[in-house]
Structure 1
């Protein structure tokens, strides 16, 4: 609580609360993993089964505990299983050597290379190598040579990963995927709402005059809603009248979402938000409505969880509906079915899923957004309600829908199109490609880990970037050049201030203030801030100082050169950590203007200005580019 007042006490756990641990050692070689998700089962991983020396077994077990400890990166059971699987695979390889290492300090980089060569035919080889490197980094007692090699960047690994990565979908392919998913979701909503309405009519007694079959369907729909099952005989078989109306699967899926329909919802949410698979499939149903259901633009805020982000794992994600004035990109005659159902926005998809899964969510006592009915299940689970989703559902949906890919280059009109392999990873990459904005990661990660390895629309993207750059450069050329006082004019102003001032459209008093740095606006000085083109006449200008580069009220003097150099260099540096299109749209114009300014300046003056840059100049430039100097 804020000691100054104005806050409220933080919520505290109830008395007797003990935090749930995720990993603890039963014995030195048997590690009990307790997933962070309480719905996942615990599991014991036995490192005594590894075919290496007892000393290495213990070292690998300690490394596993380090990776799965509270606050560690591995929080899900599937992640822990994968880590153990690679420890076991590496141990199996070491056991085949003529002289296997016996201690952690005996492990060498050549052992990792040998394990990799045995797995070189795997398509996911470099992902597996990266996982094994992470495992070994956590192992205590390694020799300095191997430890140094593991901590170095693996350029070959990164390059191979980019080479093997699937490209994004084209705009047309992405639209076909979304259209197919929306079709499935729309049909699911119509079916479930009809069943719910029929059940309500039966409960209200409104089906008394209907045929017996219709009354039975209403009774059955109400029973399935309340019990997530059908009426059965004492022996567990569906009652005779239930069998007459259809199969158990048909009755359950009349009221609940099916596996392929929940896959369609996941596809829409990933494709429209750019969030990754686990974040969406583990999303909660709970949300806040900042709009207060008061009309206007509807919105919801959902707290999503991305464990790999560590302390920044929890994030509030706003989902906003389209304003009513925003028309459809494809239908200018009026709102289409996607707009009417809200399926053109992540807000609409989220709220529809929240509605359709509300009943089964209540039956399970779950807070998960994704709840659906499975016809069968692995591990002897059988049919029943499920939460979440996995890649197998997306794969099944892709195989069932057989969405055509774009024709191959040079293909004839009679060529049969291939069918798309729909994956959430490629959908997310497509979102990044189309929106050019990071989602739960930095712009550097967006550029280096997503866009750089995307080969799908490279030529088209390059054309878009080139067009944006050309427009911004043309804009810079069309603006009047910033008026600049040279060093000779500064010297002349000492004797003839009125003459120099008139030459640059100001009076002598304003010139003196400009040269005394009293009118500075970071990279220039402003000689008439009450008559700016960026503000109403007679009102002080509140525009960003970046706009001074093209403002008729701005004047530059020699003492502005250090900051002009610093800002120009930083804008150039941002090409590395910003997407090309975003850089072109945000920074190409001021970068071109500053280039022109420095080209017009005397080269010796520029060199002297660069040498005269002080820490104060750097701090001011950093604050300016961080937008700390913008007026609210």
Structure 2
């Protein structure tokens, strides 16, 4: 042993040093999102519910402690998990050597194997055990755990910045940031409550806030699109109206209406100023059998409404009046009271060509114009 360098030299070959222990602790912190200090105190003793049987999801239960949680809640048993077999199959490549770092459990198992000698000679049961050669002693000394103070030294040895990000955007290696990243990736509580995760860890993340805004915006846009599609008034084209003159039953089937209902719609017997109503006794907002008491503007979003070509002059006139009114109403009032009606009228008028819209403006009669004036002034609403 003396010829080979003594215990100090041989132990360096057989055991992990302080920097390697730091690297293992950083890797487990990144994989599990546990605190660096909690991982540094993990014991080698653990319980395997899977009994190490192949085909069963691998997991090791490790007893740990987080004193900041208080004496009644500091003791924890976090699961150190392997990846599912389905995912493990995707990690297999042409290399016959298995991927040692594919999961927290594999890293933990490798750590226990590499630290067995140091743990036995050091006289403790911590998973992180190593040997440190010191200048004061020819023998060196056995070490236990990992010290966060060594992170800066490990970073400097491996080309990472220790204080500020580099010009290329490389960030310093920090245990706190590794845990933050792990929680953002997992999106599940790790040694804390769900409210702490949401209010403390995720709320301060710029990436999570940006993702949340995107998700919420997409969901709101989808809901608005669905609502508009559901409440859009079907427009019965002129071709269907012309067909009804010779084939009422066929036109009714195409419009998904009863023949008599379609006939009354075409003749204007069921007009409600801007649209026609299929059944005013079956309104979604009233009890069945009771007459509809909604404003005629509400017909633009009612499932009973149908739009026909002879109503186009009224729809265009109402839309023109709304566009004129917008310049004289404050934005908040406009959005609350008139914006939805304008959007729905634009949708109805948009079904017609420009030539048809021009003809409808010319065909507007004085009684129709007075009717729109009364509608827009509110004189046609029930008080």
TM-score, length-normalised on structure 1?
A: 0.33
Alpha carbons of 1:478 and 1:359: their partners in 2 closer, same or farther (altered >3 Å)?
farther
Deviations, residues 397-452 of structure 1 (Å, cap 9, x unaligned): 111001379x98xxxxxx96476421211111221233333211123322443344
What does residue 265 of structure 1 align with? 24
Distance in 2 (alpha carbons) for counterparts of 1:315 and 1:404: 34
Cα distance, 1:488 vs structure 2: 2.7
CA contact (8 A) 1:288 1:302 kept: yes
Cα distance, 1:465 vs structure 2: 2.1
Distance in 2 (alpha carbons) for counterparts of 1:438 and 1:481: 39
Q: Does 1:370 align with 2:135?
A: no
What does residue 63 of structure 1 align with? none
Alpha carbons of 1:377 and 1:420: their partners in 2 closer, same or farther (altered >3 Å)?
farther
Q: Does 1:242 align with 2:4?
A: yes
CA contact (8 A) 1:398 1:420 kept: no
What does residue 154 of structure 2 align with? 397
Distance in 2 (alpha carbons) for counterparts of 1:381 and 1:445: 49
Cα distance, 1:462 vs structure 2: 4.0
Q: Does 1:348 align with 2:109?
A: no
Question: Which blocks of at least 5 consecutive residues in structure 2 are unaligned?
Answer: 232-281, 291-339, 341-383
Question: Which blocks of at least 5 consecutive residues in structure 1 are unaligned?
Answer: 1-230, 232-238, 409-414, 493-598, 600-632
Cα distance, 1:319 vs structure 2: 1.5
Indicate the SS of the match to 1:341: coil
Cα distance, 1:370 vs structure 2: 0.8
Aligned counterparts, 1:243-322, within 5 A = 243=5, 249-296=8-55, 297-310=57-70, 311-322=72-83
Q: Paired residue for 2:181, among 430, 446, 450?
A: 430
Distance in 2 (alpha carbons) for counterparts of 1:289 and 1:422: 32
Alpha carbons of 1:309 and 1:266: their partners in 2 closer, same or farther (altered >3 Å)?
same
User: Larger RCO: Structure 1 or Structure 2 (Cα < 8 Å, ≥ 6 residues apart)?
Assistant: 2
CA contact (8 A) 1:402 1:420 kept: no
Distance in 2 (alpha carbons) for counterparts of 1:461 and 1:338: 38
Number of residue-to-residue matches in the alignment:
238
Worse-superposed segment, 258-267 or 425-434: 425-434
CA contact (8 A) 1:374 1:386 kept: yes
Cα distance, 1:365 vs structure 2: 3.3
Alpha carbons of 1:262 and 1:466: their partners in 2 closer, same or farther (altered >3 Å)?
same
Q: Paired residue for 2:286, among 484, 488, 495?
A: 488
Q: Does 1:386 align with 2:157?
A: no
Alpha carbons of 1:336 and 1:444: their partners in 2 closer, same or farther (altered >3 Å)?
farther
CA contact (8 A) 1:338 1:344 kept: no
Larger radius of gyration: 2
Distance in 2 (alpha carbons) for counterparts of 1:337 and 1:346: 21
Cα distance, 1:308 vs structure 2: 1.5
Distance in 2 (alpha carbons) for counterparts of 1:309 and 1:338: 44
Indicate the SS of the match to 1:373: strand
Indicate the SS of the match to 1:488: coil
What does residue 326 of structure 1 align with? 87
Aligned counterparts, 1:468-483, within 5 A = 468-473=215-220, 476=223, 478=226
Alpha carbons of 1:350 and 1:481: their partners in 2 closer, same or farther (altered >3 Å)?
farther
Q: Paired residue for 2:117, among 359, 364, 375?
A: 359
